[in-house]
Structure 1
Amino acid sequence: MSSPLAGVVLAGGASRRMGRDKATMVFPASGTKTMVESVVEALSARCAPVLVIAAPGQRLPELDATVLRDEVLGVGPLLATGRGLRAAAEAGCERAFVCAVDMPFMSPDLIDELASHVGPDVVLPWDGRDHYLAGVYRTDLAARVDDLVARGERSMRSLVDSVNTQRIVLPETAALTNVNTAADLV
C-alpha cells in the first residue's frame, strides 16, 4: 500500500497584480470562504495532512490544516515548495500535491487524476502550458530544492526540468484557473 498523499498549499503573501493578499480574499463562487479556505477544502478531500506554507506574519483564517511559515519573504515558490515537501516527508508521505492558493476551483478529481501516475518524480497537468503549482511531487525532492536554491534558483521550472517529470495532457478545466486579477474573481 502506498503512503498517503500530502497536500501543500502555497499561500504566499500580497499579490503584485492585486495589491493585496490573495489567500484571504473572499471567493464569491464559494459564498463567504476565502481562497485559502476553498483550496484547503479541495485538498483535504484527497490529501492528509494538508500543509499551508504562509509568508512571515501573513494573517490567515482558521484552517483545518497545519500552517508553516516561510522564513524569508518574496523569494518565490521554489523555497516554499521545498519547505512543504520536507514537512510532508516528515509526516510519512512519499508524495505531495502542491497547489497555489490562487486556484480556488481546484478539484479532488484533478488530484486523483495526477496522483494515479506513480512512477515519475513530478506529475504535472498540461493544457497547452505547464501548471507547476498544481502537481504531484515526490517529497524526497526537498533536498534537490535546497541545492537549487543554494545555487540562486527561484523558479519551479528549474526543479521540474532537472528531474523525471511526466506531463498529463488535459482539456482546459476550471480546476487549473489561476485568479490573478480582481476581475478573475467574478
Structure 2
Amino acid sequence: MTSSLPLAAVLLAGGASRRMGRDKATLPFDGPNGPTTLVERMVSIVSRRCDPVFVIAAPGQALPELRASVLRDEVRGVGPLLATGRGLRAAADAGFSHAFVCAVDMPELTTEVIETLAGPAQRLGADIVLPWDGRDHYLAGVYRTALHPVIDDLVAAGARSMRALVDAVDTQRIVMPEQAALTNVNTEADLAAIVPPRLH
C-alpha cells in the first residue's frame, strides 16, 4: 500500500567511516546502470520516493555533482545527531512535515522500505517511525521535521547519538524481516559482496 505522505530525504554522507578507512560517500559502486559512487546510488534510490533530497556532508568533503541540495556540517566528528537536525531544519524550511533520514552506506535500500514506514508515520502521528528487525535502524527512518529544536537542545546538553533522540520522543517501531535493504556497508568486503541490484 502506498502512502500519500510527502517526504523529503536527509542523507547523511559526512561520517568518519573508521572501519572502512576512507570516505564512504565516494566509494565506487558497480550499480545496475554502470559505475557510480555510494552517494550517487543513494540519491538515486531515495529520490524515487522523496523530493527534495538534502545531502549532509562534512566540511571540505569532496562529492560528485548530485541531483540534491548539499548542506555542510560546520564541524567534523560530532556524530549523526547534529547532521540529522540540520537536515530536518532544511526540510521543515522547505515546507515538509516529515523526512526520511538515512545513511549513505545502504546501497540495497528500496523504496518499499521507505513506503512501509511512510504509511504508519502518516496514520500514527508519531515523531519517529523506525524499522526494527531485532535492532533499531536509526538511520533508515521517517522523522517529523519539527524535531529539529529538540535535537538542538539535546546537542546543547552534550548528546551525540541518535538513540538520545529516539528515547526522548514518541518513537514507533515497525517489525520487518532482516533484509539486504537495511544492511550497512562497513568494509570493502561488504561492498564487494553486493550483487549489483536493480532499482525498485
Deviation at 1:172, TM superposition (A): 1.1
2:115 is matched with which residue: 112, 116, 140? 112
Gaps of 5+ in 2: 193-200
- Opposite residue 55 of structure 1, the aligned amino acid is A
Deviation at residue 2 of structure 1 after TM alignment: 6.6
SS at match of 1:160: helix
| Structure 1 Cα separation of the partners of residues 109 and 90 of structure 2 | 22
Alignment correspondent of 2:164: 158
Q: Spell out structure 1 runs of 4+ moving beyond 4 A.
A: none
Distance 1:178 1:100 in 2: 8
Tell me, yes or no, if the aligned pair for 2:118 and 2:142 is still in contact at 8 Å: yes
* Identity among equivalent pairs (%): 70
Please say if 1:70 is aligned against 2:73: yes
Matched AA of 2:89: R
Once residues 94 and 115 of structure 1 are traced to their aligned partners in structure 2, the CA distance between those partners, rounded to angstroms, is 12
Is the CA contact 1:5–1:47 (under 8 Å) kept in the aligned structure 2?
yes
- Alignment match, 1:26: 28
Looking at structure 1, the residues matched to 131 and 65 of structure 2 have their Cα atoms a distance apart, in angstroms, of 30
Structure 2 CA distance for aligned equivalents of residues 2 and 153 of structure 1: 34
Distance 1:37 1:82 in 2: 22
Partner of 2:135: 129
TM-score computed with the length of structure 2 as normaliser: 0.90
Whether the aligned pair in 1 keeps the contact of 2:140 and 2:182 (CA below 8 Å) is: yes
Report how far residue 54 of structure 1 moved: 0.2
CA distance in 1 between partners of 2:167 and 2:188 (Å): 32
CA distance in 1, matches of 2:170, 2:22: 36
Aligned twin of 2:198: none
Q: 1:20, 1:100 → 2: CA distance?
A: 15
Name the TM-score, length of structure 1 as normaliser.
0.97
Residue of structure 2 in register with 1:142 after alignment: 148
Aligned to 2:103: 100
Distance 1:4 1:93 in 2: 7
Contact 2:15 2:80 in 1 (8 A): no
8 Å CA contact 2:80, 2:160 repeated in 1: yes
- Tell me if the contact between 2:5 and 2:119 (Cα under 8 Å) persists in the aligned partners: no
**3-state DSSP class of the match of 1:93?**
coil
Gaps of 5+ in 1: none
